């Protein structure tokens, strides 16, 4: 009888955990859509605000820098808040940022709105990753993180294409109003579905002490350079597909769906592989990513090969995300919230550097400009591979020291 009751409690807890993960996924979807939608609407925003494509691309850089700078500041400032209260605060700020973007009368206001929304990004994914990892057994942590990050993949596979359709048909502002509404729905979901989890018991000094740890520093460098190349290419994916490959602008949303399918598959299986063998899986996927980015510059005028490459690009790009996030949590177990948030900031620093680097390649016509962007991205990813090999070596050394002690 007791066994039956225990099974019922266990089943109830599992269902509760699953529902909570889906609520986090909904919030991740809303935030991911805000981050990625500019790529699909880059020409429309540039024309509306009367700026160049590289100038519009800086809206990606501004958002990413807002994440990178704002994430640690907000995390430290809200250290004593309960995690659910923090998530609610972040979603309210997110809603306000997107409403301001929809109303923005000029480029400067739009940039400010992007940065305001970006302030919520790092802390949301940082706290959300910690909660997701705590909701499941230890051996399923990367998988749980992957489920939450599925919100980002769904933002690509569904949100960006639909948002691009909406923006092309009714103006880019309509897309930001739609994101605002999704944010409100996500806020309601978090209120009712995510459990109340107390803030970490560690002191702020203990949390900040993690920053001095070499393994943690290497982990952040792995994230920055591992994801750098992704946004060097993805920021300018629409001009590449239209101006080089020859696709019509109206076909771009369909291609982004293909990219999103790849992202979803890569995210799910990347999490499974990371739970089995963390560093081997990261190194393998990064090698595939570097190769795929290099191939972009070779086949960019062949539509069929380009579609296949975009799909594999999506798989490799997000196949590394759960592993990179888990790696940081492993290096800072006593300070998970700050560590996780800083890693999200590292992702977005990579995003910012990528968008900026791609813009420079285009503006200065390096290697022919736009066609050379993916090749530069590939070279940057190779740097990420070296940092990952360094991280693997550092982990092996730490494990050997632990056995000796």
Other residues' Cβ atoms within 10 Å of the Cβ of residue 379: 14
Q: Is residue 260 part of a domain?
A: yes
pLDDT for the residue 377: 94
pLDDT for the residue 4: 38
pLDDT for the residue 12: 46
Q: Please, which residues have CB within 8 angstroms of residue 261's CB and are 6 or more apart in sequence?
A: 157, 311, 314
Q: Is residue 356 part of a domain?
A: yes
CA 216 centroid distance within chain: 19
CA atoms lying within 13 Å on the CB side of residue 302 = 9
> Hey, is 350 helix, strand or coil?
helix
Domain that holds residue 31: 12-400
Q: Is residue 5 part of a domain?
A: no
Q: Is residue 372 part of a domain?
A: yes
pLDDT for the residue 99: 95
> Hey, is 1 helix, strand or coil?
coil
Q: Is residue 268 part of a domain?
A: yes
pLDDT for the residue 105: 92
DSSP 199: P
pLDDT for the residue 16: 65
Rounded to 5°, the CA angle 208-212-213 comes to 110
pLDDT for the residue 277: 87
Q: Please tell me the total count of domains within the chain.
A: 1
Q: What's the rounded Cα separation, in Å, for the pair 99 and 105?
A: 12
pLDDT for the residue 313: 94
Q: Is residue 4 part of a domain?
A: no
Q: What's the rounded Cα separation, in Å, for the pair 101 and 107?
A: 10
Q: Is residue 1 part of a domain?
A: no
Taking 50 as the pLDDT cut, the residues of the chain under it are 1-13, 403-405
Residue 194: CATH number of its domain: 1.20.1250.20
**pTM over cut 0.85:** no
Q: What does the buried/exposed string (b/e) look like for 167-197 if buried means 16 or more CB atoms within 10 Å of the residue's CB?
A: bbeeebbebbbbbbebbbebbebbeeebeeb
């Amino acid at each position: 009888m007791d066994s039956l009751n225990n099974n019922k409690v266990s089943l109830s807890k599992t269902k509760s955990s699953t529902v909570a993960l889906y609520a986090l996924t909904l919030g991740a979807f809303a935030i991911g859509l805000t981050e990625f939608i500019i790529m699909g609407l880059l020409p429309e925003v540039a024309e509306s605000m009367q700026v160049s494509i590289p100038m519009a691309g800086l809206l990606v850089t501004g958002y990413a820098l807002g994440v990178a700078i704002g994430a640690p500041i907000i995390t430290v400032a809200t250290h004593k808040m309960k995690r659910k209260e923090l998530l609610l605060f972040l979603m309210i700020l997110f809603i306000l940022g997107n409403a301001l973007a929809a109303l923005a009368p000029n480029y400067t206001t739009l940039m400010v709105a992007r940065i305001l929304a970006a302030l919520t990004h790092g802390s949301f994914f940082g706290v959300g990753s910690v909660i997701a990892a705590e909701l499941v057994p230890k051996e399923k942590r990367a998988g749980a993180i992957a489920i939450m990050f599925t919100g980002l993949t769904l933002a690509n596979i569904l949100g960006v294409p639909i948002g691009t359709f909406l923006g092309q048909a009714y103006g880019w502002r309509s897309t930001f109003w739609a994101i605002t509404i999704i944010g409100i729905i996500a806020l309601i979901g978090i209120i009712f579905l995510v459990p109340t989890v107390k803030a970490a018991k560690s002191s702020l000094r203990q949390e900040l002490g993690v920053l001095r740890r070499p393994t943690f520093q290497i982990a952040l460098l792995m994230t920055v350079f591992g994801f750098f190349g992704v946004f060097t290419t993805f920021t300018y994916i629409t001009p590449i597909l239209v101006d080089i490959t020859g696709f019509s602008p109206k076909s771009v949303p369909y291609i982004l769906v293909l990219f999103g399918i790849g992202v979803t598959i890569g995210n799910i299986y990347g999490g499974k592989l990371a739970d089995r063998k963390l560093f081997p899986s990261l190194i393998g996927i990064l090698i595939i990513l570097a190769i795929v980015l290099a191939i972009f510059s070779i086949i960019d005028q062949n539509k069929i090969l380009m579609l296949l490459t975009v799909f594999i690009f999506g798989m490799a790009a997000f196949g590394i995300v759960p592993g990179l996030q888990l790696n940081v949590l492993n290096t800072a177990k006593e300070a998970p919230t700050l560590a996780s948030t800083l890693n999200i900031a590292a992702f977005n620093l990579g995003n910012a550097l990528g968008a900026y680097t791609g813009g420079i390649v285009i503006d200065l016509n390096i290697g022919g400009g736009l066609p050379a962007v993916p090749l530069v991205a590939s070279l940057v990813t190779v740097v990420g591979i070296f940092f990952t090999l360094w991280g693997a070596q550092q982990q092996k050394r730490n494990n050997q020291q632990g056995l000796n002690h």
